[in-house]
Amino acid sequence: MINVTYKRLGVLRRTYSQVAAPTKKQLSLPHKEVVELAYDLHLPERSVIKRMPCHPSEPIVFLHGLFGSKRNYKSDCQKIATALQTPVYTLDLRNHGLSEHAMPFDYNTLVNDVLNFLQKRQLNKVNVVGYSLGAKIAMLAALKHPEKFTSACIIDNSPVVQPQIRPFLKVFVKSCVHVIDQGAVSARDKLWRHKASQALKRYIPNGGIRDYLLNNVIINPPKRHEYRSPVIDYEDGFIHFRNPVRHMVQCAVADVSDWPVDIVQGKQFLGPVNFIKGTKSDFIDRKGEDAIAQYFPYYNVHPINATHFILNERPQEYVKAVVDFFKTTRAKLEKKRHTTEAAINDSPSKTLVKERNVN
C-alpha cells in the first residue's frame, strides 16, 4: 500500500533493499566543520545599487532544498530582487551545486556554513528565504542567532522530526545512485537525459521530480576554476551528479528528516515569519503547526495549491507570496508584535513589578 506522502509526491515506494546497492568502490568524503559556500548575487534591475558597495543592511539570503542549487532559482530570485529593490544572495549548500563535498551533513553544521558566509561578507543582518531542506536551516539559524535575522520566509517545512519522510528520502537518493551505478549512461550520448530519466522512472514515476533531479547531472568535467569533488571520477566517460549521491544515501536520509530539539529547546524567534504551505503536501501537518506557533509566535501561513514541489509547480505564485510577505505581511506581523509587547508592559502585574523595583 502506498502512503499518502508518496501518492502526493509521485514517488513509487520501494523497500530499502529493493534499490540497487553501489557497485563501485566508495571513497570517503573529507570532514570539515565549515565549508565556503558558492553563491550568486542578484541585484535589482533599474536601480543605482550596482554603483554602490553591495553591503546593504537587509539583503535576502535564499536557501535551496535537497538536490537543489542556486542555479535552479536564478530567474525567481532576480524577480524577487527587482520587485523588492533588494539584493538577493542564492547559496549552494555543502554537497550541492558548486560548493564543496564534505561531512557532516547535520543541520547544525549546515547552519554554521551559512553563518560563516554571512560573516565573511559582513552581512550583519539579513532576511532569509528557505525551501524544504533550506527551510529547516533557515528556521534553526533564526532560532540560534536571532540577532542576525530580521525576518524569514519558510517554504513548506516545519520545525519537527519527520520520520514519515525517511522512506521517501531513501528512494529519492538511492534512485540517483541507481542512475550512476546501473544506468551507466555515456556523457557523449545525445540521449543521455532521456536514458537517465528512464532509469529514474523505475522508482520515480513523476516526470517533474525526475527533471528536478536531472538538473544536477553534469556531462562535462568541471572547468579549471570550478570545484572538483574528491569522490567523483569525472574522466570515466559517464554522466555524474554534482552531489556525492552515494554518500548521501546515509547522511541525507537521517539528517534531512531530523530536527535538533535539544539545541532549540525554549528558544523563540520574535521576528515576522511567513510559512508558504503546499496544500497537497504533508510537510506542514498539525504537529508541525503546533511547533511553528511555539518557536515563531509572530507567523503567517500562506497556502498554495501544490505538492511539496511548490517552486517547480507554482513558480509565479510562490514568488508573489514571497514578495507580498516582505512588502505588506511582514509589517502587519511586526505591528502585532509591538502591540502584544506593549500590552504586556502595560499589564497590572508588570506595573507592580516596576513599582517594586523602584521602591
Same domain (yes/no): 97, 146: yes
In DSSP terms, which residues pair with 234 in a beta bridge? none
| Count of structural domains within the chain | 2
- 132 as an active site residue: the answer is yes
Task: Give long-range contacts, CB 8 A cutoff, 24+ apart: 112-115.
Answer: 112/33, 112/34, 113/34, 113/35, 113/37, 114/37, 114/61, 114/63, 114/141, 115/141, 115/145, 115/148
pLDDT tens per residue, range 95-154: 999 999 999 999 999 999 999 999 999 999 999 999 999 999 999 999 999 999 999 999
Read off the DSSP letter of residue 103.
B
Q: Of the listed 40, 76, 113, 156, which one is catalytic?
A: 156
Phi and psi at residue 86, to the nearest 5°: -135, 135
- Average of per-residue pLDDT across 187-201: 95
pLDDT band at 23 (very low <50, low <70, confident <90, very high): very low
Residue 182 pLDDT:
82
The tens digit of pLDDT for each residue in 142-179 reads 999 999 999 999 999 999 999 988 888 999 898 999 99
Whether omega for the bond prior to residue 104 falls within 30 degrees of 0, making it cis, is: yes
Residue 58 — very low, low, confident or very high, per pLDDT cuts 50/70/90? confident
CATH number for position 294: 3.40.50.1820
Identify whether 82 is part of a domain: yes
Q: Which of 40, 76, 99, 132 is catalytic?
A: 132
* Res 341: pLDDT: 84
Q: 181 near 157, Cβ under 8 Å?
A: no
Predicted pLDDT at 168: 85
The answer to whether the Cα torsion of 212, 215, 219, 225 is positive or negative is negative
In this prediction, residues 64-68 reach a mean pLDDT of 97
> For residue 30, is it within any domain?
no
Q: What is the pLDDT of residues 207-232, one digit of tens each?
A: 999 999 999 999 999 988 889 999 99
Is 293 a member of any domain? Answer: yes
**Neighbour count for residue 347 (Cβ, 10 Å):** 11
Among left, alpha and beta (phi > 0; psi -120 to 50; other), residue 155 is beta
Same domain, 91 and 147: yes
Question: Are the C-beta atoms of 214 and 200 separated by less than 8 Å?
Answer: yes
* Domain co-membership, 246 together with 294: no
- For residues 75 and 147, membership in a common domain is answered with yes
Last residue of a domain, one of 195, 223, 256: 256
Q: What is the pTM of this model?
A: 0.88
Residue 65 confidence (pLDDT) above 80: yes
**pLDDT band at 47; cut points 50, 70, 90:** low
Q: Which amino acid is at 96?
A: H
Of 42-51, 80-89, 98-107, 151-160, give the lowest mean pLDDT range: 42-51
Are 321 and 264 part of one and the same domain?
A: yes
Q: Which domain holds residue 208?
A: 4-25+164-256
Quickly state the pLDDT bin for 16 (edges 50, 70, 90): very low
How far is residue 309 CA from its own chain's centroid? 12
Q: Are residues 150 and 10 in the same domain?
A: no
| CA gap 134, 273 in Å, rounded | 15
Instruction: Answer yes or no: 338 catalytic.
Output: no
H helical segments located in 179-282: 192-201, 207-214, 245-256, 261-264
Confirm if 161 and 257 have CB atoms less than 8 A apart.
yes
Is 156 an annotated catalytic residue?
yes
Q: What is the predicted pLDDT for the residue at 9?
A: 57
Q: Considering the chain, what is the average pLDDT of its residues?
A: 88
Dihedral sign from CA coordinates of 9, 256, 176, 153: positive
